């Protein structure tokens, strides 16, 4: 009898699960990511970004597929020069705040909530987080350079060497009154950017910052609008100038908003089973009208075969499909597959100053046929040789199944500055590669040969394939050219990347916002994440050749002038083979055909469940 009851119970669970999946009021997505946080100030990954996108609103939003046109959101206007809401040559922005917008707990959104949210993002400033985007725009530069953290101003005002110098060791208590005042004054500099007049928020930037509207737009989690009263009641920053440092750079689990939410978006958090699934329930009091579906569910399902079977059976409506498995889903009945462009640029990196001390990846550390010297890739001829060596089309066909294009630089197709013909992309030319290698190191390289190790992060087959292609063709044109391919776990790879031990490796960057500066600075700037990692030789070179142009590109809002500057940067990169740009890949959306309302946006993190419905 007990066995019969158990079987009936299990059958009821199975039926209820199928019913949930096929229910026209529910859409289920199966993906592979684990949600790290629900706090917009912390989020800097696509997985949590997709979740926060459903629950929180921003001042403005993109006009569907467009990444250059905006629509109102919490603001009832999109600021423009034409209507007088962008003033002072692009330094003042006027936002009229929508009235009677309700947070999920019933609180009414106010202009004070807007200011609090943006200031909290800046003072939150968790290590490796997204705060820098707002900070660069809202806080004055120091010695001509953008400020990426409010702590930089605190350090300057206090006259100390590091942020930790301001506090009693092991605490967040300022050592003295002077340091406490410096901390308060750093916040006051931030607060000067904001002005509230009635139901209007006016933001005064200390300098022109062309990407500012992008930074505020829905998709950028760090600019989400929070309920100040609710946040402070739940242990977040209280909004006061003399307490902000107590809430600066928290650990994830000690962040009070880590696992709770109270946005004004179209969905509320129903439940979050960490590592398994997150369930949203429709917010019927949403200012733009309720969503078409009642529930949205994102499940973490690691195995592709399981996701595929769930899609076929109707137990999942949308699934994540790696590009190599596309052929397994594009012919399934009642399943639709869409390709869309991304703002991801992948490139092979060649370190100009390799750290050779105790480094097994450089062999003898000499140009003697058994290794490479520290400055191996500082020789332009070496880089040009590898740029012409790479089999671009073959790589896209083999590793990306044709679902990518070859970039001609760091700028993504679809952005200001991109021009498919300026410069012309590299193509494989083994004769030119040979000519450049023969010129490198005054001919010694060709005669002696070289030996080094190229490294990829374990589990990334596409990066491994790119390096194998380079190794194969290098040996083909000269048997003395020997490149070993090794995989490292991500933590070890990241450590070696940061210490400049990797001679050659492949990494990509997804643009934080659809402005070319983000990609151009990352790859070309002397202080860029990738540029600075190439070594001191590159840093000095970039300070002369690329930094002035990057600076100039941020002084004007004129799209034509910016177009010309970024075309020039791309040409400089191409002519010096700073990187081997390999792919701008397509994204994939795989869903059941009865799902309606989907459209792509290249900077949106995942789905927008608000527009989705079922037949």
Q: Could you give all domains of the chain from N- to C-terminal order, each with its CATH number?
A: 2-32+269-334+593-614 (3.40.190.10), 46-247 (3.90.76.10), 344-587 (3.10.105.10)
- DSSP 8-class letter at 326: G
DSSP state of 97: B
Q: What is the pLDDT of residues 346-389, one digit of tens each?
A: 999 999 999 999 999 999 999 999 999 999 999 999 999 999 99
Q: Does the pLDDT value for residue 14 go beyond 70? A: no
Whether residue 588 has pLDDT greater than 60: yes
Task: Name the phi and psi angles at 319, rounded to 5.
Answer: -135, 155
- The count of other CB atoms within 10 Å of the CB of residue 475 is 14
What pTM, to 2 d.p., does this model score? 0.91
Give pLDDT tens digits for 516-571: 999 999 999 999 999 999 999 999 999 999 999 999 999 999 999 999 999 999 99
310-360: pLDDT as tens digits: 999 999 999 999 999 999 999 999 999 999 989 999 999 999 999 999 999
pLDDT given at position 16: 44
- Three-state secondary structure call for residue 449: coil
Tell me which residue of 222, 223, 182, 190 sits closest to 206, measured CA to CA.
190
| pLDDT confidence band for 205 (50 / 70 / 90) | very high
Given a cut of 50, is residue 2 above it in pLDDT? no
Cα 456-462-467 angle, rounded to 5 deg: 50
Q: What is the pLDDT of residue 4?
A: 43
Q: How confident is the model at residue 18 (pLDDT cuts 50, 70, 90)?
A: very low
pLDDT for residue 253: 85
**Which residue shows structure tokens 């106010």?**
110
Burial class (CB in 10 A: 0-12, 13-18, 19+), 464: buried
Confidence at residue 406, expressed as pLDDT on a 0 to 100 scale: 96
pLDDT of residue 22: 55
Contacts of 441 (CB under 8 A, 6+ apart): 367, 379, 381, 382
The model's pLDDT over 93-109, given as tens digits with 9 standing for 90+, comes to: 999 999 999 999 999 99
Q: What is the mean pLDDT of the chain?
A: 95
- Judge contact between 290 and 266, C-beta under 8 A: yes
Residue 25 scores a pLDDT above 90:
yes
pLDDT in tens, 53-82: 999 999 999 999 999 999 999 999 999 999
For residue 533, the model assigns a pLDDT of 96
- HSE toward the beta carbon, residue 411, CA cutoff 13 A: 30
* CA angle at 427 for the pair 422 and 431, rounded to the nearest 5°: 125
Residues in CB range of 612: below 8 A, 6 or more apart: 27, 291, 292, 293, 296, 595, 596, 597, 598
Residue 21 pLDDT > 90: no
Tokens 């930790």 correspond to what residue? 164
């Amino acid at each position: 009898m007990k066995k019969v009851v158990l079987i009936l119970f299990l059958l009821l669970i199975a039926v209820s699960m199928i019913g949930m999946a096929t229910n026209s009021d529910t859409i289920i997505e199966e993906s592979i990511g684990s949600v790290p946080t629900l706090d917009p100030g912390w989020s800097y990954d696509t997985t949590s970004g997709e979740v926060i996108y459903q629950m929180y609103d921003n001042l403005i939003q993109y006009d569907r597929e467009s990444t250059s046109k905006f629509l109102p959101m919490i603001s009832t206007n999109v600021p423009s020069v034409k209507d007088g809401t962008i003033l002072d040559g692009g330094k003042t922005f006027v936002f009229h705040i929508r009235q009677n917008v309700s947070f999920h707990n019933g609180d009414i959104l106010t202009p004070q909530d807007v200011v609090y949210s943006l200031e909290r993002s800046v003072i939150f400033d968790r290590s490796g987080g997204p705060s820098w985007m707002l900070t660069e725009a809202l806080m004055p530069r120091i010695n001509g350079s953008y400020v990426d953290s409010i702590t930089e101003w605190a350090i300057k005002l206090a006259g100390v060497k590091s942020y930790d110098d301001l506090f009693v060791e092991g605490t967040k208590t300022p050592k003295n009154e002077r340091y406490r005042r410096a901390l308060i004054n750093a916040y006051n500099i931030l607060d000067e950017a904001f002005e509230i007049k009635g139901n209007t928020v006016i933001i005064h930037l200390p300098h022109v910052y062309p990407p500012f509207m992008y930074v505020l737009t829905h998709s950028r989690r760090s600019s989400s609008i929070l309920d100040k009263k609710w946040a402070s009641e739940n242990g977040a920053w209280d909004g006061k100038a003399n307490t902000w440092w107590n809430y600066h750079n928290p650990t994830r689990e000690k962040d009070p908003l880590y696992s709770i939410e109270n946005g004004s978006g179209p969905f509320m958090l129903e439940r979050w089973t960490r590592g398994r699934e997150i369930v949203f329930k429709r917010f019927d009091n949403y200012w733009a009208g309720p969503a078409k579906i009642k529930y949205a569910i994102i499940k973490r399902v690691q195995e592709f075969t399981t996701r595929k079977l769930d899609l076929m059976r109707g137990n999942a409506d949308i699934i994540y499909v790696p590009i190599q498995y596309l052929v397994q889903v594009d012919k399934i009945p009642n399943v639709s597959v869409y390709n869309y462009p991304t703002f991801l640029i992948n490139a092979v990196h060649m370190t100009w100053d390799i750290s050779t001390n105790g480094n097994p990846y450089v062999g003898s550390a000499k140009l003697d046929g058994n290794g490479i010297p520290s400055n191996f890739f500082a020789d332009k001829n070496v880089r040009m040789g590898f740029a012409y060596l790479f089999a671009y089309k073959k790589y896209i066909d083999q590793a990306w199944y044709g679902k990518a294009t070859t970039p001609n630089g760091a700028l993504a197709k679809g952005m200001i500055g991109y021009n498919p013909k300026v410069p012309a992309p590299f193509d494989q030319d083994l004769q030119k590669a040979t000519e450049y290698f023969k010129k490198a190191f005054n001919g010694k390289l060709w005669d002696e040969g070289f030996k080094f190790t190229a490294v990829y992060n374990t589990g990334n087959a596409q990066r491994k394939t790119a390096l194998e292609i380079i190794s194969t063709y290098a040996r083909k044109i000269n048997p003395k050219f020997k490149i070993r391919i090794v995989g490292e776990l991500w933590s070890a790879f990241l450590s070696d990347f940061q210490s400049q031990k990797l001679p050659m490796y492949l990494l990509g960057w997804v643009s934080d916002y659809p402005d070319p500066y983000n990609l151009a600075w990352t790859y070309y700037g002397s202080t860029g994440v990738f540029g600075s990692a190439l070594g001191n030789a590159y840093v000095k070179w970039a300070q002369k050749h690329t930094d002035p142009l990057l600076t100039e590109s941020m002084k004007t809002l004129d799209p034509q002038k910016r177009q010309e500057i970024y075309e020039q940067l791309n040409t400089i990169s191409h002519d010096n083979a700073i990187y081997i740009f390999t792919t701008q890949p397509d994204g994939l959306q795989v869903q059941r055909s009865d799902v309606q309302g989907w459209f792509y946006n290249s900077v949106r993190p995942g789905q927008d469940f608000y527009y989705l419905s079922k037949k």
